[in-house]
Structure 1
Amino acid sequence: MSEAPWLTVLGLGEDGLDGLPPASRQALDRADVVMGPPRHLSLIPNSTAERIEWPAPFAEGLPILTGLRGRQTVVLASGDPFWFGAGSVIARNFDAAEWIALPGQSTFSLAAAQLGWPLENTLTFGLHAAPLTRLRPHLAPGLRAILLLRDGKAVAELATYLGETGFADCALHVMEALGGPRERARSVSLTEALLGTFEHPVCVGIDVAGEGRAFPKASGKPDDIFETDGQITKRPIRALTLSALAPQRGEHLWDIGGGTGSISIEWLMCDPTLTATTIEPRADRAERIRRNADALGQDRLHVELGTAPNALIDLDPPDAVFIGGGLSVDLLNWLQANLRPGTRLVANAVTLESEALLAEWHDKQGGDLLCIELAQASPLGPRRGWKSAYPVVQWSVTL
């Protein structure tokens, strides 16, 4: 018979012991150690177990917790530990046989009940340890979202950000200490949020309104949302490139020759489980890619300063690769020799030399070779005519 788990992840509400079901109370009664943030520890004043405050940053608490292996230990978390909580971190770092979870009522459920909002139609964000820019791709009139924030001061920061992005008419529903004796809920304007005082823990429901720009959901976002020095895969080509890359849930992209970062940023926008690394040899462009990613809510993009293939050697293997710059025989040979079978490769070329190289590899390796020729209406004297862009040759193949 396997041993019983030594670690319990326990969801605690703002009502402390009063709101705990019998199984959670029993876990606390038999605990040798209780570990959690100071606020959570203060909600269980009568526990006789050893108390350990979880340090900040959060990752520093994992070695401490590992050292408690073999002692009956309870880790305190807010509400549902698996909804923007500590539960997923525990699950990644400890064997399934070592722990059990006893979730409480989530803050999102309490907030939705307070507001009368259907959770299936409401976006939820855990921004207590993430930037407010995570909101940017989603902001559009009519959106309803519930946010967990770092502390009371973050309410004013949220109001400032919404005003700066053009959504100054938003209504904010600020809820403090939901489910506990200090519970308070207020609906405020952005101005009132800037002037008000709010107490931690806090969550905010947003009714989005205003004249701010809403981003389209389809691939091929407008070029002007990106800061660029002109080195950018333009919108129609970008849409075709994302279609060829065909992102799937949980996949990782290498974007070689990042330029502005538009391909990898749009890749990440497709699904929150996607990851990407962009490789850029110029420091100024690498910094610009970082700014674009942060501003557009894709701060999880990894930017690697260097030249392929040398910069690729120690990176996590990709599921898809885009070559937007630096195309060469050496690079293609390295990718062919080092990437896993099944990796998707897409390369764009505009010069005759690069076109010839892609044509040669298409002949050897197969795949699809596409010539994309676009023209845009522009003034021609008193009338209009077609102004052609350089044709782009795109090769896509599964290795």
Structure 2
Amino acid sequence: MTEKWLSIVGIGEDGLQGLSAIARSLVDRAKVIVGGDRHLAMLPTDDQREKIVWTSPISISVDEIIQRRGQSICVLASGDPMCYGIGVTLMRRIPVSEMTIIPAPSAFSLACARMGWSLTEVETLSLNGRPSSLLQSYIYPKARLLILSGGKDTPAIVAKILTNRGYGGSEITVLERMGGTHERIVEGTAASWSETEVAALNAIAVYCIADAGVIPLPRLPGLPDNAYHHDGQLTKREVRAITLAALAPTPGQLLWDVGAGCGSISIEWMRSNARCRAIAIEQNSSRLLYIADNAATLGTPNVQIIEGKAPHALKDLPAPDAIFIGGGVTATGLFDVCWEALRPGGRLVANVVTVEGEQTLFQWHERVGGDLTRVAIQRTEPIGKFLGWRAMAPVTQWVVVK
């Protein structure tokens, strides 16, 4: 079916009168109107057409829309339906050839107009229905953040995260119900934020100001070792940076982190780009807690954590674009399972510190090639009143592209 039967119309706080002529015609011609209570309340009180109100979970309403395929249906959406909006959700199930999408200005565009910020120079994210810890990876000195709020409590949550991170002086602007007659702007700082009467419909603008002495965390691989909670099973900073460079993350790619330890490789893979995904596989139950804690603290709460031992735990996981094996390389059948699952063109990187592990990597190298590298790192440590070099355990790394 290629006939356009579904229209998605972005609507602002100014309601129907703010719609373009084309958008208004799509609303007027529809036989069924879909939207939230706030959107449907914008229609005339005598509108007798069938209405569908979004349910929780929203997938129920999406199924109902699809069951009516071919009918004239109009979805009313806030702002730009393709900016963290319902249009993105519907596009996963319905081809664009069957839709007409008319956006209104997004909350980000409206916020930039109010703040005098360039949209191309700000960080944008949504905390609506998403973990608030996502914010952690966006914080750095002088960052300008635009945040879609999850409700009236979100500004206080943002203020607390900023303050705990050492950015208590950050300037927070809450923009309520932009574009309507009830628009309001509330300003304050993270450390002193106390506003409780906030409209549920709001966006948050933040100008990040670091407290004195705060050292920002880089987005490049190689975070300081003390950024992680761990029990010793941590890929050290220098080796971690080399490993992430070998894995070469690209936006949208999926990583298997086999023998994840405290999750540092998965976390820094995902910190490289908001669209990167990772699955951390770890058999030690206490380390699973470290992974979850580190992921939330460092802004990657969506890392998928699998408890189990490879290769059995890898069964039925989605095909990866890259695999890192940081532990358990000697497990029987591990390479065969990983190599078969890896997408063509994908990269497999394995690190070992034992002779037995090196023997295994050499056997794998004999089968499919790749590059073997020995990484030796030395750090200075006090020797009495002087400094001396203390060698870390050498790491043998194998990198291969399928």
Query: Alignment partner of 2:92: what SS?
Result: helix
d(CA) in 1 for partners of 2:321, 2:2: 39
Instruction: State the percentage of identical aligned residues.
Output: 37
Question: What SS does structure 1 have at the residue aligned with 2:120?
Answer: helix
Maintained 8 Å contact 1:166/1:213: no
Contact 1:5 1:100 in 2 (8 A): yes
Change (3 A) 1:18 1:191: farther
Scaled by the length of structure 1, the TM-score of the pair is 0.96
**Structure 2 SS opposite 1:239:** helix
Query: Is this contact kept in 2: 1:153–1:197, CA < 8 A?
Result: no
Taking the aligned partners of 1:191 and 1:297, their CA distance within structure 2 comes to 20
What does 1:189-268 align with in structure 2 at a 5 Å threshold? Answer: 189-190=189-190, 193-211=193-211, 212-268=214-270
- SS of match in other structure, 2:43: coil
Q: Which residue of 1 aligns with 2:135?
A: 135
Matched-pair contact (CA < 8 Å) for 2:167–2:190? no
Other-structure match for 1:109: 109
Contact 2:169 2:191 in 1 (8 A): no
Q: 1:336 aligns with which of 339, 348, 356?
A: 339
Match of 1:33 in 2: 32
Q: Which moved more, 1:282-291 or 1:42-51?
A: 42-51
TM-score (norm 2): 0.95
Name 1:363's counterpart in structure 2.
366
Give the counterpart letter for 2:296 in structure 1. D
| Aligned residues between the structures | 398
Within the candidate set 358, 374, 378, 1:375 is matched to 378
Q: Check conservation: 1:155, 1:194, Cα contact below 8 A.
A: no
Structure 1 residues 45, 161: closer, same or farther in 2, change over 3 A? farther
Aligned equivalent of 1:58: 58
Q: Deviations over 1:335-364 (max 9, x none)?
A: 334434322110000011101221232233
Deviations 1:305-353 (A, max 9, x none): 1111111120000111100011125211333344343221100000111
2: CA distance between counterparts of 1:138 and 1:273?
A: 14
* Cα distance in structure 1, aligned partners of 2:97 and 2:126: 28
Measured in 2, the distance between the counterparts of 1:292 and 1:240 equals 20
Say which SS state the counterpart of residue 93 (structure 1) adopts.
Answer: coil
| 3-state SS in 2 of match to 1:195 | coil
Structure 1, unaligned stretches of length 5 or more? none
8 A contact 1:160–1:194 mirrored in 2: no
Distance across 2 between alignment mates of 1:305 and 1:94:
35
The one-letter amino acid paired with 2:58 is: F
User: In 2, Cα distance between the equivalents of 1:337 and 1:155?
Assistant: 47
RMSD: 1.6
For the 8 Å contact 1:257–1:325, the answer to whether it is kept is yes
- Structure 2: runs of 5 or more not aligned: none
Q: Report the counterpart of residue 180 of structure 1 in structure 2.
A: 180
Give the counterpart letter for 2:364 in structure 1. Answer: W
Letter of the structure 1 residue corresponding to residue 346 of structure 2? T
> Counterpart of 2:333 in 1: which secondary structure?
helix
- Look up the match of 2:354: 351
Q: Which residue of 1 aligns with 2:306?
A: 304
Q: Do residues 12 (structure 1) and 14 (structure 2) align?
A: no
Moved more, 158-167 or 368-377: 158-167
Tell me, yes or no, if structure 1 residue 388 matches structure 2 residue 368: no
Map 1:266-277; keep pairs closer than 5 Å: 266-277=268-279
Q: CA–CA distance in 1 between the matches of 2:233 and 2:139? A: 27
Runs of 4+ residues over 6 Å off in structure 1: none
Other-structure match for 2:163:
163
